[in-house]
Amino acid sequence: MGGDGILPSQELWQYAQNGVICSHREIETNQIQPASVDLRLWNEAYRVHASFLPSKSAPFRNKATANGLFDKTIDITEPTLLEPGAIHVIRVIESLALPSDVYAVANAKSTTGRLDIFTRLITEWGDEFDRVPKGYHGDLYLQVVSNTFPILVQSGMKLNQLRLVRGRSNPVADSKLKELAKDDLLVFNDENGSEQGEINRGFRITVDLQGDERTDIVAYQARRHTRPINLAYIQHYDPEDFWIPIRRPSKGYLILAPNEFYLLASRRPVRVGPDHAAEMVPYDPTMGEFHVHYAGFFDPGFGYGVGGEIQGSKAVLEVRAHVMPLLLEHDQFVGRLHYYAMAATPDKIYGVSIGSSYQQQGLALSKQFKRGQEYVSGSVSEAEEKKDGPKTAPGRSITKPQIAESDDDDSILNIAFPKTTGEHRINAKHR
């Protein structure tokens, strides 16, 4: 047994074998990540009228039934449409029988976040989302809301991951982070090495609105009223049908429209050594109503590799402004990255060899979309592009995108109603 901290892959696998992580189906080896376990959807979804938590006085089903929250039960053994804005609660196949000194924390997988799918984990007697208390024995449920795209889901799919923590696990102190930076275990410099990122209560994440020599695309805005996305498909969809690429702004800023969804990238690369994991703080109260990351968890080896051979990968920011338009400038502070010690070095490290999708990424869309230079900033290995072979679309050529220039007009009409280009495609059903 290791020490305190986030449990590594080998200990998670041991827990899966001895019943700490229970399952109605055999746990697959590819569910075990370097510092987390993927959770799979069970075969029933409950459509509910409102988001809710159980409570310490009433279990999940009792509270939902007593308050009339269940709308209907849906069989998801086949691909099933979830409409934007609809709230569903889905039991996951895995359950837990945690030791008295181990708790768990959940977060969305990167692909889930990049599709603007909002998920929260619920326990039977819990009074907060995404946290499982020490010693918990019981089932787990996932609240799922697709904010922008209609999606097709099916039992067995993995939308969330759960990391288990023994004892206490506090963020690594700034003094320790500065030591790691000196030892080249963290990369805080920009691409030309001229400026180091700031360490202040963690690593400060700032946004990139300049791009690089490979592309001047600095953001993507999600289209609305698209055909459904089947989450099982890999490199299948033409990005042009779902995303509006935005070029480098001539004035150095973008204006984000309220309640629209954007993907951007961090200015500086992120690097996480094998002995640590990292979590992005998704919301900073000093910035007002602004969300910067749905997933927020970085496995050991992200942007680092096994022996430090990778010099960092940019963090993709899942950004939504609420209530009012928001002006976003190049290198603006948008969040913090907290580092946490692992209980032991995992026997799996984030990368292509274990099927990781976003190592050495730039501004990358989720893996459901075809990849091409117009849509991906940064290198992608051939091994990554060939993963999940049977469902990969046979061709990867894509139509030259229609690209939206950034909104440099300061008029109130352009701020409130930003211009977009390209045809919006509507299809009510796509199985």
Query: Which domains are present in the chain?
Result: 5-166 (2.70.40.10), 174-416 (2.70.40.10)
What token pair was written down for 375? 């849509």
Alpha-carbon distances, residue 30 vs 33, 38, 351 (angstroms): 7, 8, 13
* Residue with the larger pLDDT of the pair 6 and 286: 6
CA distance 394 to 132: 42
CA distance 291 to 276: 25
At a CB cut-off of 8 Å and minimum separation 6, what does 197 contact? 188, 189, 203, 204, 206, 268
At a CB cut-off of 8 Å and minimum separation 6, what does 342 contact? 2, 5, 6, 7, 8, 35, 274, 275, 276, 277, 300
Question: What is the model's pLDDT at position 186?
Answer: 74
Q: Please report which confidence band the pLDDT of residue 295 belongs to, taking 50, 70 and 90 as the band edges.
A: low
Average pLDDT (297-321) is 88
Question: What is the model's pLDDT at position 427?
Answer: 33
Number of other residues whose CB lies within 10 A of the CB of residue 78: 10
Give the global pTM. Answer: 0.81
What token pair was written down for 372? 């091409």
| Residue range 214-268, pLDDT digits in tens | 889 999 999 999 999 999 999 999 999 999 999 999 999 999 999 999 999 999 8
| Residue range 105-153, pLDDT digits in tens | 999 999 999 999 999 999 988 888 999 999 999 999 999 999 999 999 9
* CB contact at 8 A, 239 and 398: yes
* CB contact at 8 A, 172 and 47: no
Question: What is the model's pLDDT at position 430?
Answer: 36
pLDDT at residue 403 is higher than 80: no
* Residue with the larger pLDDT of the pair 226 and 304: 226
- Phi, psi dihedral angles at 408 (to 5 degrees): -100, 0
* CB contact at 8 A, 228 and 154: no
pLDDT at residue 58 is higher than 70: no
CA distance 18 to 242: 44
